[in-house]
Amino acid sequence: MSINDLPGYEQVPREHRDYQIDWLHPDDIEQIVALETGFFPEPLTITKLTQLIQEPHTCYIVVRDGKQVIGYIGFQYFLAAAHTISMAVHAGYRREALATVIQKTADAVAKKHGARWFTGEVRVSNEPQLRFLRGLGWHEIGRCENFFKNGEDAIVVWNWL
Ligand SMILES: CC(C)(COP(=O)(O)OP(=O)(O)OC[C@H]1O[C@@H](n2cnc3c(N)ncnc32)[C@H](O)[C@@H]1OP(=O)(O)O)[C@@H](O)C(=O)NCCC(=O)NCCS
């Protein structure tokens, strides 16, 4: 059975405008780590990302413009819950609704795997991500103090699927 025969996988791969929405390929790993290093105080390393994608309940969805990764989400699903590892859109491709397409694709895949809700933690300083999720109807269900390694608090976010 190929990966595309598994339930939920009909959501990917597909086209969005001129971009391809696809599963992560090994060639994407370095690009994702480079993007994370540009955006996040605690980026994934190549070693950590390589370990994560080998875990059975990890899913990575990428958007490519040609061979360039311009957006991605990584998440894990456990029974009724799906949980975001991280997501991002390349700075040159923002406000094109790419994050919206990525999250909606992830929602559909997680739902097909039995997830009933999606959750995550967002830095209190990350107003773009909080606004983005509010726009998709996500709820901010609490604040977790000192969540990140640099001491920043997290807003715990949650959405029904
Ligand atoms: C947050 C992020 C993923 C949004 O990606 P994006 O592709 O630009 O988002 P979309 O185009 O789908 O935006 C949808 C809506 O979210 C809101 N939004 C997105 N970015 C915003 C910003 N910088 N400021 C305010 N609202 C924003 C808007 O309501 C937007 O709709 P509009 O463009 O019609 O006004 C992107 O800015 C990013 O990659 N940031 C760095 C990485 C990061 O912080 N990831 C999240 C933590 S894991």
- The predicted-structure confidence for 72-113, as pLDDT tens digits, reads as follows 999 999 999 999 999 999 999 999 999 999 999 999 999 999
Nearest CA owner, ligand 1 atom 15: 132
Q: Which residues of the chain have pLDDT under 50?
A: 1-3
Do residues 88 and 39 make contact, with C-beta atoms less than 8 angstroms apart? yes
From the alpha carbon of 98, which atom of ligand 1 is closest? 7
Helices first, then strands: H and E counts in the chain:
4, 8
pTM higher than 0.75, yes or no? yes
Q: Domains in the chain, please, with CATH?
A: 3-116 (3.40.630.30)
From the alpha carbon of 135, which atom of ligand 1 is closest? 29
The Å distance, Cα 61 to ligand 1 centre, comes to 17
The Å distance, Cα 68 to ligand 1 centre, comes to 19
For position 9, what pLDDT does the model report? 62
